Amino acid sequence: MKLTSKGRYAVMALVDLARFNSINPVSLRDISLRQGISLDYLEQIFFKLRKKEIVQSVRGNQGGYVLNKKAKEIKLTNIFDAVDEKVKTVQCKKDSKKGCNGKSTKCLTHNLWDELENHINDFFEKKSLEDLVKENTERRI
């Protein structure tokens, strides 16, 4: 059960972006250098973030990205959703009537994993980008 780099990087990059919450857009090159994330990979990630309207792009020289909403309104859930970092605990198709291995009923542990999934999602639901930035206010990179 592990978090993938895509999700981790997405959050890292957005926290970085939110800290430089100025009028000027932040370029991926800067984020790449500061956070040590491959530029090409960041581009993939921001492509998705833009499609979900979490960030806005500013093209051209001196361009970059800015947040499209207030940091307070961006929850971890939104970020993870945007980059397809899903929490998946069950094996069966969640909404189908069928169980794990194509069985006709749900398996013995289905409810448990469902609970777990909710438990994890609660965490993501509660944390906003603003919270994360605040927690890092005193620290320097």
Partner DNA sequence: TGATACTTGACTATTTTAGTCGGGTTTATA
Partner DNA sequence: TATAAACCCGACTAAAATAGTCAAGTATCA
For DNA, the closer CB: 91 or 105: 91
Q: How far apart are CA 8 and CA 69, in angstroms?
A: 20
Which among a copy of itself, ligand FES, DNA, none contacts residue 28 (Cβ within 5 to 8 A by kind)?
DNA
Check residue 128 and report its DSSP letter: B
CB of 61 to a copy of itself, least distance (A): 27
Exposure string over 32-60, b if 16+ CB within 10 A, otherwise e:
beeeebeeeebeebbebbeeeebbeeeee
For DNA, the closer CB: 35 or 131: 35
Among 19, 34, 35, 58, binds DNA (CB under 7 A): 58
Q: Is 95 in the site for DNA (CB under 7 A)?
A: no
End-to-end CA distance of the chain: 29
> 């932040």: which residue's tokens?
26
3-state SS class at 109: coil
Query: Which residues form the interface with a copy of itself (CB under 8 A)?
Result: 1-5, 7-8, 11-12, 15-16, 35-37, 85-89, 91, 100-101, 103, 105, 107-109, 111-113, 115-116, 119-120, 123, 127, 132, 135-136, 139, 141
